[in-house]
């Protein structure tokens, strides 16, 4: 049946001028034992639940209720211990009390039980109004099952309340969006709700340190704010496997603890695990004004996996078996923010979500000061396309990620120098050709003995693969001394200096580079064939800058050397109108390791680059016409196929310069191995001792176009 009780029918004393009415045997309490009784406490009504009111011989005369109160009576439903097999009795068979908004339901009186036993009700409370638990003389009120407290719940001094547990599986508690739970001195609240979650929309407060909250199982979320006037100073125990959450993802303004002590000195929260190793968990998005002692449990800022957030605590201590779980995504990271000091040990677990990571510093722990360190740091997941490291300072732990794309400027320097050597050796072979008698340029035109030649040069190279690659430009000069030898031979020395730049196609990195080349060259004829050779040494000094958005420019000064030799065999046909040739060039390249500056945690230390290269050329030199006019203008066309037997791809390896991180390795496919090479040379004899020459050449692949040009003078002594 359903019974609605209004204030006017509450008790015999209703409407009198007395502030209190003493409860005696003249009252007619409503029984809530057994059956499917449903009782509604209407707005403005104060109801009191008493034990065994009608039982003869029970002294209860000290209990008082307000004038407009009503009495709800029950027979003792006794559980001698949590392990008891006793039934719940009449109070478990379906009675419900509906407390309307504006009404109050109070559990009062001392049951006739031994100290420390339970009085149990199952699925009893549906409260939109307030519920009060008074001191029950050392016994516990067990509001088992699915109870809802949409108003305020108050445990007065000495009260004991158990919630959640049933004979079957634990069930969920329900609180309102503005519900406050308040504990008096010595009050005890035990929460056991299995894997369910209860969310208190208001605050959980206890002004006295003797109040206790024991979260045995399940998850308890507190979204309200403790204040200096309504702090929590009691003891909070988070049981094995249970989770306490301060502020869910929509309540980052939640505050728990004692705001009178921002550094946490007014309250300690212990996060531990039980003897079988099951840990308790503390997590959330809000602020905890307490000293958090994570002796052996789990602290997890934010929420479950995939929900990032910041949890703020007064101070933090982590023991050898404690765990701090944090999570990082491309857009942010969860963080434990410690307002005071942090003392560290145990494990730091960093979960890295999938995604494309760029240049970023993700702070996962910050404090005013840090002592100790994590003894175990575990990172799981993959930062696609990025380098990963851990930055540790005196006040923070941060995960650092950096895009590997801009690191290619370092390997571009080495690759561009390989192309430069090809252009340099090619220019020397063309110089040999333009002064070779066997190629249709009579030696007497240039005289015998020593000659000096020089020319300004310009070079440009474009290497690309999709949106990646680089452009290299250089300008400078080349020159040498040459000595005529018997058998139409020659021996010379040459030097070249260029200054240029390299720019990545992404625009994120640039380098300026100065290059010096030195060479000895020569050749001679035998049996209508010719052999020429070059031995060379090359070095370059560069300044490389990488622009990291939000972090400024990081600079380094790479330096490299190369050396090697080249040999060419040729034989003129058709009266030297066509000269087929074969050429092979070996070189060794070494670029020293270098450390960047200016990027703090994002600065990198690049390893040394070492590689061997062998390039072969097969082609023709064509003299389409005999020397023309008085100046004996002579054109020459070179067409060849070039193949690089080494891998033209670019490798760059290294690690972070100032922080702990795993080594990185990045490969870019670079240029293709086979290229088409062509050049046009013009030589004019202005006088018996002076000649001018010009040259334009190019190298072309599906990924590269390179050009060089020079215009020079040759003077005979």
Closest C-alpha to 372, from 401, 349, 392: 392
Q: How confident is the model at residue 157, as a pLDDT?
A: 94
CB atoms near residue 630 (< 10 Å): 9
Q: How confident is the model at residue 367, as a pLDDT?
A: 97
Tokens 């670019």 correspond to 650
Structure tokens belonging to residue 699: 């190298």
| Strands 243-246 vs 212-222: parallel, antiparallel or unpaired | parallel
- Between 546 and 145, whose confidence is greater? 546
**Model pLDDT for residues 237-284, shown as the tens digit of each residue:** 998 999 999 999 999 999 999 999 998 888 999 998 877 778 999 999
Q: How confident is the model at residue 225, as a pLDDT?
A: 97
Model confidence band, residue 168 (pLDDT cutoffs 50, 70, 90): low
Angstrom distance (rounded) from CA 694 to CA 665 = 43
CB atoms near residue 432 (< 10 Å): 22
CA distances from residue 454 to 65, 309, 493, 502, 606 in whole angstroms, order as listed? 114, 67, 12, 26, 37
DSSP 424-453: HHHHHHHHHHHT-GGGT--GGGT-SSEEEE
CB atoms near residue 506 (< 10 Å): 16
Burial 149-176 (b: 16+ CB within 10 A, else e): bbbbbbbbebbbbbbbbbeeebbbbbbb
**Model pLDDT for residues 123-137, shown as the tens digit of each residue:** 778 899 999 998 877
**Model pLDDT for residues 275-319, shown as the tens digit of each residue:** 777 899 999 999 999 999 999 999 999 987 778 999 999 999 999
Model confidence band, residue 442 (pLDDT cutoffs 50, 70, 90): very low
With beta carbons less than 8 A apart as the criterion, state whether 366 and 339 touch.
Answer: no
- Between 485 and 495, whose confidence is greater? 495
Model confidence band, residue 613 (pLDDT cutoffs 50, 70, 90): very high
Report helix, strand or coil for 423: helix
Average pLDDT over residues 320-338: 95
Model confidence band, residue 15 (pLDDT cutoffs 50, 70, 90): very low
Model confidence band, residue 95 (pLDDT cutoffs 50, 70, 90): low
CB atoms near residue 82 (< 10 Å): 10
Structure tokens belonging to residue 100: 């309307």
Q: Is 164 left (phi over 0), alpha (psi -120 to 50) or beta?
A: left
Structure tokens belonging to residue 603: 């600065």
Report helix, strand or coil for 466: coil
Model confidence band, residue 441 (pLDDT cutoffs 50, 70, 90): very low
Query: Which has the minimum average pLDDT: 123-132, 394-403, 438-447, 658-667?
Result: 438-447
With beta carbons less than 8 A apart as the criterion, state whether 366 and 315 touch.
Answer: no
Q: How confident is the model at residue 440, as a pLDDT?
A: 39
Give alpha helix (H) positions in 360-516.
408-434
pTM for the structure as a whole: 0.76
Model confidence band, residue 43 (pLDDT cutoffs 50, 70, 90): confident
1 contact partners, CB below 8 Å, separation of at least 6: 35, 36, 37, 38
Average pLDDT over residues 572-588: 92
What end-to-end distance do the CA atoms of the chain give, in Å? 129
Average pLDDT over residues 322-333: 94
Closest C-alpha to 522, from 556, 488, 489: 489
Residue 276: DSSP 8-state: T
Angstrom distance (rounded) from CA 595 to CA 575 = 58
Closest C-alpha to 715, from 447, 456, 534: 447
Structure tokens belonging to residue 300: 């997890």
With beta carbons less than 8 A apart as the criterion, state whether 338 and 369 touch.
Answer: no
Q: Mean of the per-residue pLDDT values for the chain?
A: 83
With beta carbons less than 8 A apart as the criterion, state whether 277 and 244 touch.
Answer: no
pLDDT beyond 60 at 502: yes
Model confidence band, residue 59 (pLDDT cutoffs 50, 70, 90): very low
Number of H helices, E strands in the chain: 1, 58
With beta carbons less than 8 A apart as the criterion, state whether 581 and 603 touch.
Answer: no
Tokens 């890295």 correspond to 352
CB atoms near residue 328 (< 10 Å): 26
pLDDT beyond 50 at 487: yes
Average pLDDT over residues 74-82: 37
Q: How confident is the model at residue 156, as a pLDDT?
A: 94
CB atoms near residue 115 (< 10 Å): 7
């Amino acid at each position: 049946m359903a019974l609605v009780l209004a204030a006017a029918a509450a008790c015999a004393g209703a409407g009198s001028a007395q502030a209190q009415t003493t409860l005696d045997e003249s009252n007619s309490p409503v029984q809530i034992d057994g059956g499917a009784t449903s009782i509604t406490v209407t707005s403005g009504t104060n109801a009191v639940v008493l034990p065994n009111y009608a039982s003869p011989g029970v002294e209860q005369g000290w209990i008082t209720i307000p004038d407009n109160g009503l009495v709800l009576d029950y027979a003792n439903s006794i559980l001698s211990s949590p392990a008891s097999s006793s039934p719940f009795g009449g109070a478990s068979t379906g009675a419900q009390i509906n407390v309307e908004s504006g009404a109050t339901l109070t559990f009062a009186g001392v049951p006739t039980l031994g100290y420390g036993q339970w009085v149990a009700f199952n699925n009893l409370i549906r409260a939109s109004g307030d519920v009060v638990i008074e001191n029950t003389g050392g016994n516990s009120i067990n509001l088992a099952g699915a109870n809802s407290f949409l108003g305020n719940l108050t445990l007065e001094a000495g009260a004991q309340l158990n919630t959640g547990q049933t004979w079957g599986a634990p069930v969920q508690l329900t609180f309102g969006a503005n519900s406050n739970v308040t504990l008096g001195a010595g009050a005890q609240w035990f929460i056991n709700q299995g894997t369910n979650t209860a969310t208190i929309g208001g605050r959980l407060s206890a002004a006295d340190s003797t109040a206790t909250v024991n979260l045995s199982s399940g998850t308890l979320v507190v979204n309200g704010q403790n204040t200096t006037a309504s702090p929590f100073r009691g003891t909070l125990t988070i049981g094995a496997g249970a989770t306490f959450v301060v502020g869910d993802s929509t309540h980052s303004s939640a505050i728990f603890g004692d705001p009178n002590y921002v550094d946490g000195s007014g309250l300690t929260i212990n996060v531990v695990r039980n003897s079988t190793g099951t840990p308790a968990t503390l997590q959330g998005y809000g602020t905890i004004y307490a000293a958090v002692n994570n002796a052996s449990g789990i602290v997890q800022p934010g929420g479950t996996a995939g929900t990032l957030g910041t949890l703020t605590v007064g101070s933090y201590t982590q023991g050898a078996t404690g765990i701090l779980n944090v999570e990082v995504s491309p857009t942010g990271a969860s963080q434990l923010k410690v307002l005071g000091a942090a003392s560290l040990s145990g494990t730091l677990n960093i979960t890295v979500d999938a995604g494309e990571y760029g240049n970023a510093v993700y702070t996962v722990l910050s404090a005013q000061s840090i002592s100790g360190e994590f003894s175990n740091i575990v990172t799981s997941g993959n930062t696609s396309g990025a380098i990963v490291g851990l930055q540790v300072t005196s006040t923070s732990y941060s995960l650092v990620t950096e895009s590997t794309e801009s690191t290619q400027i370092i390997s571009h320097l080495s690759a561009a120098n390989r192309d430069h050597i090809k252009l340099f050796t090619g220019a020397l072979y063309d110089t040999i050709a333009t002064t070779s008698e066997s190629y249709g340029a009579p030696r007497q035109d240039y005289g015998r003995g020593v000659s000096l030649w020089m020319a300004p040069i310009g070079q440009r190279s474009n290497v690309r693969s999709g949106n990646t690659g680089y452009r290299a430009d250089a300008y400078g000069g080349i020159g040498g001394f040459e000595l005529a030898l018997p058998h139409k031979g020659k021996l010379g020395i040459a030097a070249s200096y260029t200054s240029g730049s390299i720019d990545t196609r992404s625009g994120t990195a640039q380098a300026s580079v100065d290059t010096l080349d030195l060479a000895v060259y020569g050749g001679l004829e035998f049996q209508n064939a010719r052999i020429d050779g070059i031995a060379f040494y090359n070095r370059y000094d560069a300044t490389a800058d990488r622009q990291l958005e939000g972090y400024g420019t990081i600079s380094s000064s790479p330096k490299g050397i190369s050396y090697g030799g080249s040999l060419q065999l040729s034989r003129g046909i058709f009266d030297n109108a066509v000269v087929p040739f074969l050429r092979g060039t070996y070189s060794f390249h070494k670029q020293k390791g270098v450390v960047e500056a200016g990027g703090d945690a994002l600065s990198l230390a690049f390893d040394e680059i070492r590689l061997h290269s062998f390039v072969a050329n097969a082609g023709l030199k064509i003299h389409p016409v005999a020397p023309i006019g008085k100046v004996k203008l002579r054109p020459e066309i070179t067409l060849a196929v070039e193949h690089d037997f080494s891998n033209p791809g670019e490798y760059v390896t290294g690690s972070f310069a100032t922080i702990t991180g795993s080594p990185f390795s990045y490969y870019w496919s670079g240029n293709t191995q086979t290229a088409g090479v062509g050049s046009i040379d013009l030589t004019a004899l202005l006088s018996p001792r002076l000649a001018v020459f010009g040259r334009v050449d190019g190298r072309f692949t599906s990924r590269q176009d390179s050009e060089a040009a020079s215009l020079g003078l040759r003077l005979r002594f």
